[in-house]
Amino acid sequence: MTSPPGDAEHYLKCQYANKDGQTYNFKLSYDGIWPHWKGSGADMPYPKAGAMRLTVSGLAAGPHNIVTYHNCPWSATKTWTVEGTTYTSATSDCQVSVDGVHVTTITPTVDNRNDATCGYAYFTVNAVADKPVVIGFTPAHNQSMDNVFLNGFEIDVPGEPSAMRPRRCRPTAICTSLRARRSGPGAGVERPCGP
């Protein structure tokens, strides 16, 4: 997590939003990781410029295409009121960078219930041998929920997802492929997400 700084009230949270994604098979869209705020009456995604990074190591030198998936799993009508301010689940656009250089800006989906239509970013990286690729996700500050959500990613897919629908393969849901290392309660503990 790059914003806010991690502490007992601000940490990466990795989980599914509710059991509907499991029951009705849209696990990618409802499983994710995001900067979270728990304290001062809040227990919600951090709405004030929550940002994070994904570091990928071990790629062979040369070009690789990457797809990252982005969906706010809460209902489109969800609101949170904290310290007199009301926030909605309307989620800011996500600015994607690679090694600090902007590559694309995408509009995430909200309450998406079909993995094939989950918001995504598609871009190419040029890996250098023995050097990790750092992918940054920063909100564009254009909606009430000024945060980023990462639901999954794929590396070296045969093409852009919109050209491959309906999908024959499933992307890796972020919480089943990664574990959240949190700050705050349980700091340093890697824990699985969902049931």
Please tell me the CATH code under which domain 10-178 is placed. 2.60.120
Q: For 142-189, what is each residue's pLDDT tens digit?
A: 999 999 999 988 899 888 886 555 544 444 444 444 433 333 333 333
Sheet containing strand 133-139, strands side by side? 52-56, 133-139, 94-98, 101-106
Q: Per-residue pLDDT for 104 more than 70?
A: yes
By CB atoms closer than 10 A (0-12, 13-18, 19+), residue 102 is exposed
- Tell me the pTM: 0.82
Pairwise pLDDT comparison (178 vs 131), residue with the higher score: 131
How far, in Å, CA of 156 to CA of 60, rounded?
11
Domain ranges of the chain: 10-178
Q: Per-residue pLDDT for 11 more than 70?
A: yes
Q: Per-residue pLDDT for 42 more than 90?
A: yes
Average pLDDT, integer, range 23-42: 82
What local confidence, expressed as pLDDT, does residue 159 receive? 81
Pairwise pLDDT comparison (114 vs 37), residue with the higher score: 37
Average pLDDT, integer, range 12-35: 73
Q: Look at 10-24, 30-44, 89-103, 122-136 and tell me which has the smallest mean pLDDT.
A: 10-24
Pairwise pLDDT comparison (59 vs 152), residue with the higher score: 59
Q: Beta strand 62-72 with 109-110: parallel, antiparallel or unpaired?
A: parallel
